[in-house]
Amino acid sequence: MAEMINVEVCYALADKQALVSVKLPQGATLQQALEASGLLVKHPEIDLKKNKFGVFAKLSKLDSILRDRDRVEIYRPLIADPKEVRKQRAAEGKVMKKGAGDADAPEA
């Protein structure tokens, strides 16, 4: 009988986290863990071609071989580009700083 490995599959949503433990034969791939977890059926928005996946926060391919006690992570697409958000925040900060010395502010 083939040795079995224990793997966790994790999918974080905005309001909750789905964490499923699966037992797989040694030599199983990341994709096999995803399929065995049932998360692909429960969350149809997960697309094997579009989403990114990882093992312990390290991007991994679907054909990556898993080891015992690995944690497979399903990453959601970013809603906003972090660089753009930072630029916008910096631009808003400059506008706020310019308006700091208002003429109608009470004098000391």
pLDDT tens for residues 42-83?
999 999 999 999 999 999 999 999 999 999 999 987 777 778
Domains in the chain with CATH codes: 4-86 (3.10.20.30)
Output the average pLDDT for the chain. Answer: 87
Where b means 16+ CB within 10 Å and e means fewer, 53-77 reads: bbbeeeebeeebebeeebbbbbeee
**Burial of 93 from C-beta contacts in 10 A (0-12 / 13-18 / 19+):** exposed
What does the radius of gyration of the chain's CA atoms come to, in whole angstroms? Answer: 23
Give me the percent of the chain exceeding a pLDDT of 90. 65
pLDDT digits (tens, 9 = 90+) for 7-41: 999 999 888 999 999 999 999 999 999 999 999 99
What per-residue confidence (pLDDT) applies to 21? 97
pLDDT tier at 104 (50, 70, 90 boundaries)?
Answer: low
